[in-house]
Amino acid sequence: MDKIDFKKEFKELYKASSKQVQIVNVPKLNYLKIDGMGNPNTAQEYKDAVEALFSLSYTVKFMIKKGSMGIDYGVMPLQGLWYHDNMELFSQERKEEWKWTSLIMQPEFVDKELIDEAVDQVKKKKDLSSIDKIKFESLDEGLVAQIMHIGPYSEEMPTIEKLHNFIEENGYIKVGNHHEIYLSDPRKAAPENLKTILRQPIAKK
| pLDDT at residue 186, as a whole number | 87
Percentage of the chain modeled with pLDDT above 70:
95
Domain boundaries, the chain: 12-27+141-205, 29-139
Kindly state which CATH superfamily the domain 29-139 is placed in.
Regulatory factor, effector binding domain (3.20.80.10)
d(CA 122, CA 118): 6
What are the φ/ψ torsions at residue 32 (nearest 5 degrees)? -90, 130
d(CA 88, CA 85): 9
Question: Which among 100, 98, 109 is positioned nearest to 33, based on CA atoms?
Answer: 100
Chunk the chain into consecutive blocks of 10 residues (it has 205) and report each block's average pLDDT, rounded to whole numbers.
90 96 97 93 92 98 94 96 69 74 97 97 95 97 98 93 96 94 92 96 95
pLDDT tens for 156-201 read 999 999 999 999 999 999 998 999 999 998 888 999 999 999 999 9
Question: Same fold for the domain at 12-27+141-205 and the one at 29-139?
Answer: yes
| pLDDT at residue 93, as a whole number | 58
Cα distances from 131 to residues 75, 122, 127, 173, in angstroms, run: 17, 8, 9, 36
E strand map for the chain? 3-4, 22-26, 29-37, 72-73, 78-83, 99-106, 135-139, 142-150, 172-174, 178-182, 195-204
| pLDDT at residue 42, as a whole number | 85
| pLDDT at residue 39, as a whole number | 86
| pLDDT at residue 96, as a whole number | 75
CATH class for the domain made up of 12-27+141-205? alpha beta
d(CA 178, CA 61): 28
pLDDT tens for 179-188 read 999 999 888 8
Beta bridge partners of 180: 80, 198
